[in-house]
Amino acid sequence: MHKILTIAGSPSQNSRSSSVLELSRLILEKQGLDVSCLSVKDIPPEDLVYANFESASLKKAQNMIEQAQAIIVGTPVYKASYTGVLKALLDLMPQYAFSGKTVLPIATGGTITHLLSIDYAMKPLFSVLGATHILRGIFILDSQMQRGEGGQLTLDDDIEIRLKDSLTELASFITC
C-alpha cells in the first residue's frame, strides 16, 4: 500500500510546485516512508476534457488515491486559485475520494496577494472531497525558490523548515 501520494497540479515543464513535491518525496523517503506520485500530466488531456470515465489513466489515478493514507497536493496559483487542470482531474474522482485521508496543501505563486488561495480555494475543495484532516498548508513564493545549476530546487531556509515541519506533521498521521 502506498502510504503517501503526491498530486502535482501544474501543467508546466520544469514546474516549481512539482519540484517542491519531489523534494517532499525525498525528505519522506529518507524517513522510510512509502511515497507515490501522480501528476495531471499523467492523464491524457482528452480524458480530462471529455470526462472519459472509462479512461485507464483516470482509473489508475483513482486507485492511487484510494491506496493513500495521506496526500500532498501541490499546485501553482493560477488566477488566484488552483489550476483548472487539477480541478478537471479531481472533478472526475469519486465524490468522497479523500475520505479518511490527511491532506497537505502546497501552493506556489508569484505574488503574496494570493497567499490565502490555500484557505479559500484548496481547503474547500479537499473538504468537499471528504478529507478527514486538512493541514495548514504552505504557500511558497517564486522568489523563495532557486534552481541550482543541475536544475535541482532549493528553498529559502525558513520555507524549507516549514516544509519539513509540515511533512513531519503529515507523517504523524500515517499508521502501520
Ligand X SMILES: Cc1cc2nc3c(=O)[nH]c(=O)nc-3n(C[C@H](O)[C@H](O)[C@H](O)COP(=O)(O)O)c2cc1C
Contact set with ligand X (CB under 6 A): 10, 12, 15-18, 76-80, 108-111, 114, 142
| Residue 133, Ramachandran bin (φ over 0: left; ψ between -120 and 50: alpha; else beta) | beta
Of 15 and 102, nearer to ligand X (C-beta) is 15
CA dihedral angle for residue 75, residue 110, residue 167, residue 29, rounded to 10 degrees: 70
Smallest distance, Å, CB 120 to ligand X? 13
Of 3 and 9, nearer to ligand X (C-beta) is 9
Provide the pairing of β-strand 138-141 with 35-39.
unpaired
Residue that has been written with the C-alpha cell 516512508 in this structure: 33
Of 45 and 100, nearer to ligand X (C-beta) is 45
Smallest distance, Å, CB 155 to ligand X? 12
Smallest distance, Å, CB 51 to ligand X? 23
Of 56 and 80, nearer to ligand X (C-beta) is 80
The DSSP 8-state label assigned to residue 50 in this structure reads T
Smallest distance, Å, CB 40 to ligand X? 11
Please enumerate in sequence order all residues whose Cβ is within 8 A of that of 42, keeping only pairs 6 or more positions apart, or say none.
Answer: 57, 60, 61
